[in-house]
Amino acid sequence: MNACALPDDLRSWAGEIVDVDSHEMMPAQVWRREFSALVDPLVHEWLNNGQDVTHNPNHPNVPGYEHDDAPVDPASIWRIK
C-alpha cells in the first residue's frame, strides 16, 4: 500500500517534508546547508527569538554547533535520544 495522508496542497512535497517532532532533529545551524536558503527566515527566527536554550535539549538552536562527532554504537543506537 502506498497511501499518502498529505492534503492535496502538500502532496508535491511528499518525501521532502522534515518531521520536526522527531527525535533526530538537526540543529538550526545546519538547516541552510541541508535545505537551501529557502529556510533562512525560519532559521533566523529560531536563532534569534531570545529563548534561553542553554538547558533545553529539545530546542533546534544549538549555540556553537559545528558538526555531530558523537561516536555511534550500533548496539545501543535505539536507546539514545
Distance CA 9, CA 23 (A): 26
Q: Please report the pLDDT score of residue 1 as a whole number.
A: 41
Cβ neighbours of residue 53 under 8 Å, at least 6 residues apart?
59, 61, 62, 63
- The overall pTM is greater than 0.75: no
Q: pLDDT digit string (tens) for 34-56?
A: 889 999 999 999 999 888 888 88
Return contacts of 61-65, CB within 8 angstroms, 24+ apart. 61/27, 61/28, 61/29, 62/27, 62/28, 62/29, 65/27, 65/29, 65/30
